[in-house]
Amino acid sequence: MIRNALTIDVEDYFQVSAFAQYIPRSSWDNLPCRVERNIDRILMVLDEHKIKATFFTLGWIAERYPSMVKRIVENGHELASHGYAHHRVTELSRKQFYDDITRSKALLEDIGNQSVWGYRAPSFSIRGDNLWALECLEEAGYRYSSSVYPVKHDHYGMPDAPRFAFNPENAPGLLELPVTTVRLFGRNFPAGGGGYFRLFPYAISRWFLQRVNMIDLQPAIFYFHPWEIDPDQPRQTGINFKTHFRHYLNLGRMEKRLNALTQHFEWGRMDQIFLQRTM
């Protein structure tokens, strides 16, 4: 059975990009954080099923919860970078981006006492118009990125990108690992988790992942956020219908679906699945 990569984007509910216009960064320190309790719950579930995963962690979170980061590492999981303060790459200049990824890498390595090889851009915000970001990642010492989502979406996406692991032409020493999609009817459908995993019936998500393993003969890359297993998180008011629907849909069903995934597929860390192939 093919082993797939299980990844967690470590950020709190108030840091999601869809809330950026409603919740200013200046208020983050005054909001009730729930990330630590959610991560501890995730660690317990992974331990129960003897699964190791990759945690793409915000530097902002790591600074405030260093003991949580150490627990992630002590439990045998891979620590990777999600940038420092959840700025989309599209919001940053080249220098600002380089400063962000080097700051977060150094911070995580200092807390976790292990090398940080992987990076995932907030909201998969590396696209065709900012591929210079991949050059920055290679220069900063990252070995892989999982920042491209080969789908068409109103907030992100690079639908013409390769669906599986590739070395970018402008950063040949870096491995880009796109989040998983399924190719049907001439287009890519999202199959790698997030809000789509909560939207689609579980049977469809399972079929998608099975197709990638059995037809494409490739490992899948699946992701979710700690706040997605937390239906009791503080509810935001004044947000538009689309944002409300995307964020809160089926939060109460998420943990049950994740438990089903642990039984139907084999899972592991990004570095152990993909980097060992290139060594």
Question: Domains in the chain, ordered, with CATH?
Answer: 3-278 (3.20.20.370)
- Asked if pLDDT for residue 278 goes beyond 60, the answer is no
- Asked if pLDDT for residue 75 goes beyond 80, the answer is yes
Average pLDDT, stretch 108-131? 96
Spatial separation of the C-alpha atoms in residues 210 and 1, rounded to whole Å = 10
How do residues 168-202 score in pLDDT, each as one tens digit?
Answer: 999 999 999 999 999 999 999 999 999 989 999 99
pLDDT score, position 155: 63
Strand partners, 6: 222
Query: Parallel, antiparallel, or unpaired for β 144-145 and 118-119?
Result: parallel
pLDDT mean across residues, the chain: 95
What percent of the chain has pLDDT above 70? Answer: 97
pLDDT score, position 154: 61
Exposure letters 200-222 (e unless 16+ CB within 10 A, then b): bebeebbebbbebbeebeebbbb
pLDDT score, position 151: 86
pLDDT score, position 27: 96
Average pLDDT, stretch 53-64? 98
pTM of the model: 0.96
Is pLDDT larger for residue 259 or for residue 152? 259
Average pLDDT, stretch 12-29? 94
pLDDT score, position 279: 45
What percent of the chain has pLDDT above 90? Answer: 91
pLDDT score, position 1: 85
Tell me the pLDDT band of 38, cut-offs 50, 70 and 90: very high
How do residues 134-168 score in pLDDT, each as one tens digit?
Answer: 999 999 999 999 999 998 766 666 888 999 999 99
- Asked if pLDDT for residue 105 goes beyond 70, the answer is yes
Q: Given its phi and psi angles, is residue 186 left (phi above 0), alpha (psi -120 to 50 degrees) or beta?
A: left
